[in-house]
Amino acid sequence: MAKLNIVKHGDPVLRKVCRPVDEITPRILTLLDDMAETMRDADGCGLAAPQVGILRRIVVIETEESGLIELINPKIIARAGEQREYEGCLSIPGKSGITRRPMHVTVRALNREGKQVEYSGSGLLARAFCHELDHLDGKLYIDIAEDIQG
């Protein structure tokens, strides 16, 4: 595994829409492993492929409650409730802002074996799903945040 360079705010790659993954190759599996290592090393709870300069629809998320979740071509299929919490981003170090996100989210994606999976989460995990999937469409939390600090 290798630690990847995290792209910082201002790099145009963060504003691009990512392409779907058509085939899960050894290169995609290595990317998943490297993204997880990079996320952990940076003390984050989520990382999307464009944050490491790769325009593919791939996300890794890890919270205490969920363990490691790997998502390929993810889509949010259900949302409920609302939460307002501080959010930050590994691509925008030293800043945070309050965002409005759903309290509960269900995501459908492929796993590393190419099988369709669904994950549901509340609170932090729901926020992480929304935040990371926004990255795949070139959106950043600062686009919707209030009271940005740092």
70 is catalytic: no
- CA dihedral over 12, 99, 82, 71, signed as positive or negative: positive
Pure H helices in 42-119: none
Q: What is the DSSP letter of 23?
A: S
- Tally: H helices and E strands in the chain: 2, 8
Distance from chain centroid for Cα 97:
17
User: Any idea of the CA torsion for 139, 89, 13, 137, to the nearest 10 degrees?
Assistant: -30
The C-alpha atoms of residue 39 and residue 45 are separated, in whole angstroms, by: 7
Catalytic residue among 62, 70, 87, 132: 132
Residues 6 or more apart whose Cβ sits within 8 Å of residue 78: 104, 105, 106, 120
Which amino acids are annotated catalytic?
132
